[in-house]
Amino acid sequence: MFLRVLFVSCLWWVVSGPASGAPAEVSRTLLILGDSLSFAYRMPVEQGWVALLERRLRALDYPYRVHNASIVGLTSGGALARMDALLSEVRPALTIVELGANDGLRARDPRLLRTNLLAVVRRLQTAGSKVLLLPMRLPPNYSAAYRESFQSVYHAVAEASGVPLGGRMLAGFAADASAFQLDGVHPTAAVQGRILENIWPSLEALLQPPMSDAQ
């Protein structure tokens, strides 16, 4: 008789779940797929915008863990080649795609960038991930025609895939030489918070509610 009562009690718990007031742990993966702009290049990792984002999510009780898969020098083609291996390792609920700067700096055909980016985004969507695409811009030493063609890629990919475009990472300080390292390309640690602020509004719109709101 005791064993029967114990079995029924355990079965009830499995079906009903834990008592109200004891919320289950919820954690989704937020994947960052980018290049050196998201890698905390030549600075302590904890000073980069991705680490600042992770701390903000935790402070605001958003149910995400951040997986930064950014690699220095990564191109759109390199990212596409990594997708199968990456998605076998992580199952993102949401992905920030920050790619294309290295394609542009190497003056690669924008049509190839469009093809690669669209394939990356659709691969993520097929895997069940929401996507936020960050638009890149090139410095003014490239021809106006090439810069315009390059920048139009992001709008084309967003329209074709139905994903939102985020804010420009370097908005508000792109022309400020003091905001960049000696190479003139990579932002300093001092402006990583500004990068996060540029991205945050469009990212926040895609986030699941904080756990405190869901209780």
**Catalytic residue set:** 36, 183, 186
Contact 95, 131 (CB under 8 A): yes
* Nearest partner of 215 among 77, 84, 74, 20, judged by Cα: 20
Q: Which residue do the tokens 């294309």 mark? A: 100
Which one-letter amino acid corresponds to residue 16?
S
Contact 113, 100 (CB under 8 A): yes
Contact 163, 124 (CB under 8 A): no
Task: Say how many residues make up the chain.
Answer: 215
**Residue 19 DSSP one-character state:** P
- List Cα–Cα distances, 129 to 18, 104, 126, 139, 166, in angstroms: 29, 26, 7, 31, 16
d(CA 93, CA 115): 23
